[in-house]
Amino acid sequence: MNAIIFSAIMGVVMMFSGIITEKKSAISFVAVVALFILLAANIANTYGLCSISINTHDLLHFSKFGLYFNSILITAALIFVLLSGSAVEKVGNYAADYYALIFFVLCGTSILTSFNGLLMLFLGIEIMTIPLYILTGADKKNLKSNEASLKYFLMGSFSTGIMLMGIALVYGANGSFALTTPAAVPNSAGVIPVSFLLVGGYILLFVSMCFKVSAAPFHFWTPDVYDGAPTVFTAFMSTIVKAAGFFAFLVLFEANATLLGPSWKIMLTFVIIATLLIGNITAVFQQSVKRMLAYSSIAQAGFMLFALYTYNDLAKEGILLYAVAYCLATIGFFAVLVKVKDHSFDGFNGLAKAQPVLAFSAVVFLMSLAGIPLTAGFFAKYYMLAAVIKSGGSFWIVLVALVFAAISVYYYFKVIQAMYFKSGDPEIMEVSSGYKTAIVLVSLLVIAIGVLPSIVLNWFYF
């Protein structure tokens, strides 16, 4: 509960901080402090120290897993603000408002990591996405940003409609918003009847969640929105928001996957393969690094979906690790991307010579995204695939995923090639030494988790 309350309060505080001071760096500083407080509050909640509790009549349920996941998300947001605070300030004149919106998004993610009913799921999703529509369009004078915002809004509301329809059907079948379905009573012939309302409702929920985490074939909004949004907010959207969406997806279907019977695995296999295929293959052909990252985020979603496919201990640990690895690498790489003016692949030519520190960090982040050993991304993928094999899932789906992982090397390494092996004179914004230190620290963290993933996972068991 702490995180939900504090994030809402901090959002309001951020809004007013814009009135008190005009200095943008001061506003960023306030945001960092507020995030630290939020993180401390959430950690205190995890260990049962001074936590606020309100009787929500079981609408919210604070599990250790959810709280820990929320801590990861808040930490990621903190790293995001520390790294990209200066970029947030540059988007427009309303830095305080942007930070306020970011805190409201975090309020949404805090609900999503603790919901215990469909109503709260809906609230969480809405609280999380509505500020995002605004952030996407934050670059007011840029046509692309406006277009992306409108597109995101239209598609997002459409999928929300589908979700509401699904919730209504499930409510109709169960008579409650609870996540668990009461056991069906066999009819006179001894057959358990299939409730079409229930199955239909959950399929609609599945579709809308696929939309939110940009899984194929519901991914069409992703490239345009990620490409059009101000780069710094793309980093935020594609990491923290997406990870929260995945967590909600996981919790929603943990109890209900069996409802759909064997067709659940078939449906999910189709979505996973389609997501991996479309994400990876399309990313290969991109000319712009930013757009490539949009497709790569679709491809990464394909890997994260394996957690839904298996639902065992390894998958749970895996999704934690995946969230950490993916957030760190993506936020880090976007922090490099923000500094490069030309977002095409050629814009990176010769970056290694001009900015060796940035280029080195970018290599670490890209390798982590590609899943090369010694980086966090390797263990993220490792856990997902191990979970599939452990659950006795079909071995061929693992092989397919690995082939796509090999393909992903192609587009990630194209950036490395541009930076290190091609000569050019990249246009780079000014990079302060503090920025360099921060980004190198993040990349060292990625390597540290890649060597000892237990530094993330052990916390979960404490």
Give how far the C-alpha of residue 355 lies from the chain's centroid of Cα atoms, to the nearest Å. Answer: 29
For the beta carbon of residue 132, count every other beta carbon within 10 angstroms. 24
CA distances from 408 to 97, 281, 293, 305, 412 (A): 37, 8, 11, 17, 6
On the question of a cis peptide bond just before residue 373, with omega within 30 degrees of 0, the verdict is no
User: Considering the rule CB under 8 A, would residue 395 count as an interface residue with another protein?
Assistant: yes
- Listed ranges 5-13, 51-59, 94-102, 388-396: which one lies at the site for another protein (CB under 8 A): 388-396
Residue 108 engages another protein in binding (rule: CB under 8 A): no
Residue indicated by tokens 């949004």: 229
Binding residues among 329-368 for another protein as defined by CB under 8 A: 367
Min CB(388)–another protein separation in Å? 9
Binding range to another protein, per CB under 8 A, among 57-65, 176-184, 213-221, 407-415 = 407-415
Minimum distance, C-beta of residue 230 to another protein, in the bound complex (Å): 32
Size of the site for another protein (CB under 8 A): 27
Q: Which is nearer to another protein, 52 or 406 (CB)?
A: 406
Our CB check for another protein shows the closer of 73 and 387 to be 387
Does residue 264 bind another protein (CB under 8 A)?
Answer: no
Q: Does 33 bind another protein (CB under 8 A)?
A: no
Residue 454 found at the interface with another protein (CB under 8 A): yes
Contact residue for another protein among 89, 420, 426, 456 (CB under 8 A) = 420
Would you count residue 429 as binding another protein (CB under 8 A)?
no
**DSSP letter (8 states) at residue 210:** H
Both tokens assigned to 310: 């298996």
Those residues whose C-beta lies under 8 Å from the C-beta of residue 175, and which sit 6 or more positions away, are none
Query: If you compute the radius of gyration of the chain from its CA atoms, what whole number of angstroms results?
Result: 21
Residue in 422, 428, 440, 448 binding another protein, rule: CB under 8 A:
422
Residue among 240, 412, 409 at smallest CA distance from 323: 240
Cα 325 to Cα 247, 301, 385, distances in angstroms: 15, 13, 15
Member of 32, 150, 409, 428 binding another protein (CB under 8 A): 409
Of 277, 299, 281, 138, the C-alpha closest to 222 is 299
CB of 421 to another protein, least distance (A): 5
Residue placing its CB nearer to another protein in the complex, 35 or 388:
388
The CA-to-CA distance between both ends of the chain, in Å, stands at 20
User: Which residue, 184, 203, 204, is CA-closest to 194?
Assistant: 184
Positions touching another protein (CB under 8 A) are: 367, 372-374, 382, 385-386, 389-390, 395, 398-399, 402-403, 405-406, 409-410, 413, 417, 420-422, 452-454, 457
